[in-house]
A and B are shown apart, each in its own frame.
Chain A
Amino acid sequence: MTKSLRGDRGLATLETTFAITILVPLLFSILEFGSALERWLAQDAAAVQAARYAGELGGDAPELHRFVGDELRAAGIDPDGVRVEVAPSRVGWREPVRVSLSSAYPISIPFLFSTTVPLRSSAISRGEVNR
């Protein structure tokens, strides 16, 4: 009787360990990748708004960077971790301007790996300043 109980307890421990090492990484994968996708969507939306504003400003300007910072903060993203590129930096009437935002999102899955996923967002608008 005692032997049988001890055996069952050992089996239950083994089963729980096995389940945890599989289920915990799965659960964290769903949470971490879901969070990364949410951030990617927010960054994309900020890139679209930034491209529109860059068109109005006629390219790169301090106001644009302030605007992007505000947009990112409103979406819960730290602007310091996001790189903003405007190409070309100065555009005229009807010339295309491209705004790119890039950042690295850290993902950590217990028992498996920790890495950073690069998130890139770009949008193109057209210059509205007649120089």
Chain B
Amino acid sequence: MVLTLVIAPLLFVALAGVLQLGALRVAVARVRAAADLATLVAVNDQDDAELAKSGSLRLSADAADVARQYFARELELSSSLLDGGADAIAAAADIAAYLSAPAYDTRTGARYERPTVRIAAQVPVRTPVFGALVLRPVTTVEVLSVSSPR
């Protein structure tokens, strides 16, 4: 009886931790998908005039703005999981568009052989159960997404 009473609270804490960890995994997957979709949407937007003139792929001049706009839209769909506004998180993200190739990414050191859009962001996710367990109530998810057309 005593053993059960001692172990039960520990198991409840373990259950709460497991559920929070699961919810965090869902949040991380959503944030990654948000960044991936935003970069994909941005690279799909080609400079039509350049394509018609030279036949080479070149990103539209507003590719970085489009990526930021769609990153905010995708994050807005998961706003209940985030600690902060989707617009503010997207505004703070480091988004770079390399309109023509080859190009070097000063942040990652990568060399891109095709026009590329890259998003690097830190997204704060609410983890209230971790907070109640004397851990961090907000977990920052680092996301890096890179897309190029082919």
Contacts and interface: CB of A to CB of B under 8 A. Distances in A.
A28 to B, nearest CB: 10
Contacts, number: 69
A77 B97 CA distance: 38
A125 B40 CA distance: 9
A38 to B, nearest CB: 8
Contacts of B36: 48
| Dominant SS among interface residues on chain A | helix
Contacts of A96: 70, 73
B8 interface: yes
A37 interface: yes
Interface in B1-26: 1, 4, 8, 11-12, 15, 18-19, 22-23, 25-26
Contact of B33 (A18, A26, A29, A123): A123
Task: Identify the 9 closest CB pairs spanning chains A and B, nearest first.
Answer: A37-B22, A19-B4, A122-B77, A48-B33, A126-B41, A22-B8, A26-B11, A15-B1, A124-B73
28 contacts: A11-B1, A14-B1, A15-B4, A22-B4, A23-B4, A23-B11, A26-B8, A26-B11, A33-B18, A33-B19, A37-B22, A37-B23, A37-B26, A41-B26, A48-B33, A48-B36, A51-B37, A52-B37, A55-B44, A123-B37, A123-B74, A123-B77, A124-B37, A124-B70, A124-B77, A125-B41, A126-B70, A128-B44
